[in-house]
Amino acid sequence: MNISIIGSGRVGSSVALNCCMRELGDVLLLDIVEGLPQGESMDINHQLAELGNDCHVKGSNDYQDMKKSDFVVIVAGIGRKPGMTRMDLLKTNAGIVKDVCNKVRTYSPESIVIVVTNPLDPLTYLALKIINSDKGKVMGMGGMLDLSRFKEYISSTTRMSRSSIQAMVIGEHGENMLPLVRFSSISGIPLSSFINNVQSSEFVTKTRNVAAEVISLKGATVYAPGNAVSAMIDAISRNRRKILPVSAFLEGEYGYSNVCLGVPCVLGSNGIEKIIELDLNQEEKEMLTNGVESVKTAIRELPI
């Protein structure tokens, strides 16, 4: 399996390391900054060598090296600064992602593409339109990252093992994300049996806001995004048919079309093999609609 990661900063390098630790295949780190991907690849390979892990990471500044990749992960772009929303990044990152996707279309058009760059949902839409790939082969990471945060709040509040938690987050990867308390459980027991209404509301608020808190404390979110992407690649490359929340192109699902949004999807060897439609209540539908409207507003500003 060949995995190309475009953008070799802290997040891109975390994706590379996580993919290798899961032994998913060889990794190419690509970046326009000379020396950066080469240095990161050397550092990761040193760790892998001591562990006896035979995955190999290569650093490059040449997009031709990504030919025949099985997966392309797009991390290129500027990150959020304290006080910024994800949508504040739209204009700058849309131009970067458009240029990257033109290169993907040239050198590796058959690859499965995972978008990490923010604002994630509109840029996933941009990638799909520019690469002109099958809709199941282009997706965004957002829901998987939000899910990791939601699970942590559930575990820390209930003091139950993280391994016992099943949860789901849908909607926009942004201020309108929707952690679904109703569809979450601990070893199959509804989460509502362990928490009260106040805690339920706190879970939702904290999951939406925690990224900004991490950014204010350390400058970027790094490790959880790396794990989220590698979990998606693992599910697809090993045909696990796992249901994971990812940003997918909707064609009538949940009542919406021509937009990318975080929804539960079956991930298998063909990428997104099925979108699961949940029976949402009125409050959940309204929050989902807010996210759709936010993403569609951003899509109208994309350079397509």
Instruction: Provide the annotated active-site residues.
Output: 173
Inter-residue contact 80 to 105 (CB < 8 Å) = no
- Residues 6 or more apart from 221 whose CB is under 8 A from it? 11, 145, 211, 214, 215
5 alpha-carbon distance from chain centroid: 13
- Looking up tokens 């929804």, which residue turns up? 263
- Report yes or no: 120 and 140 within 8 Å, Cβ to Cβ: yes
Alpha helices in 132-251 (DSSP H): 142-158, 197-218, 223-237
The rounded distance, in Å, linking the Cα atoms of 277 and 209 is 26
Residue 106: HSE in the Cβ half-sphere, 13 Å Cα cutoff:
10
How far are the Cα atoms of 1, 18, 27, 112, 295 from residue 236, in angstroms, in the given order? Answer: 11, 15, 16, 9, 26
238, 244 Cβ separation under 8 angstroms: no
What tokens were used for 203?
């879970």
